[in-house]
Amino acid sequence: MRTTIRDIQKLKERGERIPMVTAYDYTSAQLADRAGVPLLLVGDSLGMVVLGYGSTVPVTLDEMVHHSKAVVRGSQQALVVGDLPFLTYASVDQAIHSAGRMLQEAGVQAVKLEGGVTVAPTVARLVALGIPVMGHIGYTPQSEHQIGRRVQGRQANEAGQLIEDALALEAAGAFAIVLELVPAPLAHAITARLHIPTIGIGAGVACDGQVQVWHDILGLYSDFTPRHTRRYAHLAETIGAALTSYVAEVRAGTFPTAEQSATMDEATLQAALDQVQAQPRD
């Protein structure tokens, strides 16, 4: 049975913290699911960590649908949330079309979109149509050209706006809100004012849950660790060493051995060779 929106709400009510991680394909979804992650995010961060774009801005709805399908196929327990990419929810009608594709074609159980007060009417309409929505405020990567990649809400007016944004999203029916790069005390204050869970990334420990990017927590980059993350593995080094060994063994002819090869009856092979030799060649 998949985790439901109600299950996530119950976690908040019981004061149980909610782990969330991004996933972009079948295998990573399977691994996260088996590890007991209740919320998976097919984030548009896939643009950077999987597709090699410089930001989330170029990510298309087709790309999100394609990767989300794989994550849904790879998971059985987790509730899968898919990001609506940049400019795919600029109007209410467009948001309905985009979210509809994510639920109907990709099979995700909820969508996430960036923004507060300004997107609240869109959130309300999606929720009224039966589409669960997760909000995302603070640093919103789709607006990086406008706001810059920095902690949001350090000034009183900015902090006040973020509180208004969170309350507007809750009133619109969002089932949870991501708080990204928000000072920990402000994230605490927002969390205390909401009945729905906050999911932090770079927003301190008082949030109801935490979300992290797959590649960051597993150390899939050898040279970059954002401040808000912690490496729970060093997979770049592990994978690099494994591939170096593979390359060396193929070059040396020590892979494959008999163990990785199939055998064949000698007489059958000889019969095949005799047959081939007997046939005239052009």
Query: Does the footprint of ligand KIV cover residue 83 (CB under 6 A)?
Result: yes
Closest CB to ligand KIV among residues 41, 131: 41
Query: Does the footprint of ligand KIV cover residue 211 (CB under 6 A)?
Result: yes
Least separation in angstroms between residue 19's CB and ligand KIV is 13
**Out of 21, 29, 40, 45, which residue is the one contacting ligand KIV (CB under 6 A)?**
45
Query: Does the footprint of ligand KIV cover residue 213 (CB under 6 A)?
Result: yes
**Out of 38, 43, 74, 85, which residue is the one contacting ligand KIV (CB under 6 A)?**
43
Q: Is 180 a catalytic residue?
A: yes
d(CA 43, CA 28): 13
Q: What phi-psi label fits residue 115: left (phi over 0), alpha (psi between -120 and 50 degrees) or beta?
A: left
Least separation in angstroms between residue 273's CB and ligand KIV is 57
Exactly one of 180, 249, 259, 266 is catalytic; which is it? Answer: 180
Q: What is the DSSP string of 81-97?
A: EEEPPTTSSSSHHHHHH
Least separation in angstroms between residue 125's CB and ligand KIV is 22
Query: Does the footprint of ligand KIV cover residue 116 (CB under 6 A)?
Result: no
If one counts every other C-beta atom within 10 angstroms of the C-beta of residue 63, the result is: 18
Cis before 185? omega within 30: no
- Select the span of 23-31, 38-46, 116-124, 185-193 touching ligand KIV (CB under 6 A): 38-46
136 φ/ψ angles, rounded to the nearest 5 degrees: -155, 110
∠ CA(192), CA(194), CA(197), 5° rounding?
Answer: 95
Residue (of 83, 88, 79, 90) closest to 67 by Cα position: 83
- CB 152 within 8 Å of CB 162: yes
Provide the token pair at 187.
Answer: 């994230």
Residue whose CB is nearest to ligand KIV in the complex, by number: 43
Q: Bridge partners of 19?
A: 210
Query: Does the footprint of ligand KIV cover residue 170 (CB under 6 A)?
Result: no
Please give the residue ranges that form the binding site for ligand KIV (CB under 6 A). Answer: 22, 41, 43-45, 83, 136, 178, 180, 201, 211, 213
Hey, which residues are catalytic here? 180
